[in-house]
């Protein structure tokens, strides 16, 4: 009798789906003796390695311009890692991703024991894949690891008890990387500038005196662009000013919208749905972040160095009264929690300036539907969905200015209990087998 586990394959399939979902062009390469192949074929195009071929012959057969290439349990069999990356590079788009899944080498001896005892099929000798060493080789050819983790310590259902035990083991042994299956996501970069059209979303509530100076300072781009100013019910003349911007700035492609509900998150999502261009930026209307920096935010993505750019206000000294002391403490707490959830260190999660790709909108919606709890601000949905789908996140340091007019519209602690539930639920999806 051979050891096999439907649960193991189901977990693995769900983990892959988080990356494969909504990719424009994706292919999954695996061995032809992989169990439950038909399940993998339902979520993506597949290419099977047969005994009469080696991995190099197989990847040479690939077409070009893939957004994602997934390789399961084959990378560790190659005897020329450098040329493996070299060939894969020619098959990816400029900002394509490579996902390598393999058996955790920490399990090699135990697996070999199963093979000797006849409990498992014999497999070829596997190389020891250490992420640091692989990353050094990959970087020489324009690849960089953006995610690395393991899953599944107990890969059996055992009438449901095994699944519960597996989640307990994953929780307490998470720092030790003891899962049977490793997942390594590589981002491909080449620093070639690819200019894209731009939508700049500006939520506005009680910002009467900030809007005109803000529009005057936003850079004029050569590529097609639009400024979507979405306003809520205000106590001042914000609505009147917003509706006059198109006349005052006839050449700035201004779109005025009134949000249908309350809150910044609602304003952002409604403007996102109305946007038309390739890159989307969110810019607060209070001028606390210099709008001129949008040029650099866009350049980071257009150069292929990141998929999502998050502003950070906690690098440079702030202007006096730019942030209240209690908000400073709150931001540090949020920064710690977010880094804990997504496994990436961010210095500032609540900066209002963020830039991402239009193609990520469906991934954001999918993340929102996955969770029962809601993000009252919108910042966390943007960051978490980017990290969960394997996007490369970079921070751009901004100078945080004191408000010239008005008061902040967001209370970070009013919905604190909602955020606690949101973080716990997000932590589960990021760190446990599904």
408 neighbors 210 (Cβ within 8 angstroms) = no
In a domain, 193, yes or no: no
In a domain, 265, yes or no: yes
In a domain, 357, yes or no: yes
How many whole angstroms from its chain centre is CA 223? 25
What pLDDT score was predicted for residue 277?
98
The helix or strand, by DSSP H or E, that contains position 16, with its residue range, turns out to be: helix 6-20
CATH of the domain at 85: 3.40.50.150
CATH of the domain at 257: 3.90.550.10
C-alpha distances (whole Å) from 350 to each of 180, 335, 347 are: 35, 8, 10
298 neighbors 222 (Cβ within 8 angstroms) = no
Output the pTM of the full model. 0.90
In a domain, 158, yes or no: yes
What pLDDT score was predicted for residue 21?
82
- Domain boundary residue, one of 188, 215, 230: 188
Tokens of 24: 């424009």
| Domain assignment of residue 247, given as a range | 198-431
In a domain, 1, yes or no: no
Tokens of 274: 């109305």
What pLDDT tens digit does each residue of the chain (434 aa) get? 344 568 888 999 999 999 998 778 999 999 888 878 888 998 999 999 988 888 888 899 899 999 999 999 888 778 788 899 999 999 999 889 999 998 888 887 777 787 777 656 666 666 656 677 788 888 888 899 999 999 999 888 888 888 899 999 998 998 888 999 999 999 987 777 899 999 999 999 999 999 999 999 999 999 999 999 999 999 999 999 999 999 999 999 999 999 999 989 999 999 999 999 999 999 999 999 999 999 999 999 999 889 999 999 888 888 776 676 666 676 777 788 888 899 888 888 888 899 999 999 999 999 999 999 998 888 999 999 999 999 999 999 999 998 776 666 555 556 677 888 999 999 999 999 98
Q: Can you state the angle between helices 361-370 and 379-388, rounded to 10 degrees?
A: 100
Same domain, 243 and 165: no
Q: Could you tell me which residues are beta bridge partners of residue 257?
A: 230
- Domain boundary residue, one of 188, 206, 225: 188
In a domain, 107, yes or no: yes
What pLDDT score was predicted for residue 13?
92
How many whole angstroms from its chain centre is CA 348? 16
Domain count, the chain: 2
- Greatest distance between any 2 Cα atoms in the chain: 80
Sequential DSSP letters for 283-349: --TTSSB-GGGHHHHHHHHHTTS-SEEEEESSSSPPPTTSS-HHHHHHHHHHHHHHHHHHSS--S-S
């Amino acid at each position: 009798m051979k050891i096999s586990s439907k649960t193991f394959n189901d977990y693995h399939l769900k983990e892959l789906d988080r990356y494969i979902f909504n990719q424009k062009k994706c292919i999954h390469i695996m061995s032809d003796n992989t169990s439950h192949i038909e399940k993998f074929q339902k979520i993506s195009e597949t290419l099977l390695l047969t005994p009469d071929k080696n991995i190099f012959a197989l990847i040479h057969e690939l077409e070009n311009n893939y957004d994602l290439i997934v390789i399961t349990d084959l990378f560790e069999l190659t005897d020329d890692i450098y040329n493996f990356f070299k060939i894969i590079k020619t098959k990816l788009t400029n900002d394509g991703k490579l996902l390598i899944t393999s058996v955790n080498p920490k399990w090699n001896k135990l697996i070999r024991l199963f093979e000797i005892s006849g409990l498992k099929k014999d497999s070829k000798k596997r190389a020891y894949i250490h992420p640091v060493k692989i990353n050094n080789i990959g970087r020489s050819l324009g690849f960089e690891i953006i995610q690395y983790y393991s899953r599944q310590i107990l890969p059996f259902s055992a009438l449901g008890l095994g699944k519960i035990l597996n989640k307990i083991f994953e929780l307490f042994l998470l720092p030790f990387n003891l899962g049977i299956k490793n997942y390594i996501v590589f981002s491909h970069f080449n620093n070639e500038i690819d200019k894209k059209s731009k939508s700049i979303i500006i939520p506005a509530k009680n910002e009467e005196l900030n809007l005109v100076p803000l529009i005057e300072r936003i850079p004029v781009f050569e590529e097609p662009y639009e400024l979507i100013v979405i306003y809520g019910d205000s106590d001042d003349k914000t609505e009147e000013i917003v509706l006059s911007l198109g006349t005052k700035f006839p050449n700035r492609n201004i779109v005025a919208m009134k949000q249908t509900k309350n809150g910044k998150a609602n304003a952002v999502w409604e403007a996102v749905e109305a946007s038309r261009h390739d890159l989307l930026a969110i810019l607060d209307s209070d001028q606390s972040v210099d709008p001129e920096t949008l040029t650099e935010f866009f350049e980071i993505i257009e150069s292929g160095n990141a998929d999502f750019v998050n502003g950070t206000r906690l690098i440079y000294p702030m202007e006096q009264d730019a942030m209240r002391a209690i908000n400073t403490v709150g931001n540090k707490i949020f920064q710690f929690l977010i880094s804990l959830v997504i496994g990436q260190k961010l210095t500032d999660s609540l900066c209002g300036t963020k830039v991402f790709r239009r193609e990520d909108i469906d991934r954001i919606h999918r993340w929102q539907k996955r969770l029962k709890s809601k993000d009252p601000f919108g910042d966390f949905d943007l960051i978490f969905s980017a990290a969960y789908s394997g996007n490369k996140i970079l921070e751009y340091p901004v100078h945080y200015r004191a408000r010239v007019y008005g008061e902040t519209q967001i209370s970070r602690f009013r919905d604190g209990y909602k955020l606690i539930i949101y973080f716990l639920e997000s932590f589960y999806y990021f760190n446990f087998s599904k």
